[in-house]
Structure 1
Amino acid sequence: MKQAIFLDTFLGRVGIAQEGEAITHVFFGNSVRPDAFVEESTPLLEEAARQLREYLEGTRKEFDLPLCPHGTEFQCQVWQLLRQIPYGTTITYGQLARMVGKPGAARAVGQANGRNPISIFIPCHRVVGAAGVLRGYAGGTEQKKKLLHLEGALPQKPGKEKKK
């Protein structure tokens, strides 16, 4: 049985789901069928909610939770690499493709990134298009922008320099 709880955040309504002893999904709004889970708190979900709140308050930079995303071998490889992108840092889809060992597979990496079922905890928001262009995100590009702003990682547009 899959349990889930919901939090109201500056990103809107965020759900966190657990199956067995691991977090399996983070979702925004009502993007999951209601019959996919039972709305019920567990110690693990409470801990995940606490860590998410701390992150959104700017006091947590890393998560310490058991995560179990379900996907293909390639997707899981991409998702594992996403977890290695440091807080406050962005990389491009091309860079991520090279990390995966498939330098010509930026589009496939982007598709795997987009299917990440545990967004935020597996930080797919830290991957941007070439020249820092914000591409799709499960919660929408505005949510991605908010998360990158929180981390101080909004990419600079070409020709614009940070003020000192």
Structure 2
Amino acid sequence: MTEHDSPTAPEGLTRRAALVAGAWSVPVIAAAVAAPLAAASTPLLDATALNGAGRAFDFDGVSPGDSIALIIQVSDNGTPYSGSASAVLAGASGIATWDGDLLDVGADPNSASAPVDGGELSLPIVVGALGSFSVTVLIASSTWTFSVTLS
């Protein structure tokens, strides 16, 4: 029996041609499956202290009662990000509180939420005393911890 006499092969289609076509379709199918997964993945975010350095804020010359903003620059693969953010104060008891007049503070006074607008997140705090604490920021599925020093 020759390849053309096979009862399952259409006229003019050889087993070799079918194998070659199948081998070339594997990368195409794999790419088609991976494309929606890549499109649905979370953004690649980066955050840096705009009025600080890297992931640190150092405010010199502040006094109790002062309101200052921790300003964080947020980008998605180099493009300014817009969305929502939440933040938590850690170790700030007696040193700083969220400025509830300028920020949406949750039931937990250490938690707050704010919009990221055009790549900029502003988290205003009220100085209670000089000292250091940290702020953890959550945007999408990314988390960063910033150190804050008030002196």
TM exceeding 0.5 = no
Q: Which has the larger radius of gyration?
A: 2
Q: Which has the higher helix share?
A: 1
Q: Which has the higher strand share?
A: 2
Report the TM-score, using the length of structure 1 for normalisation: 0.27
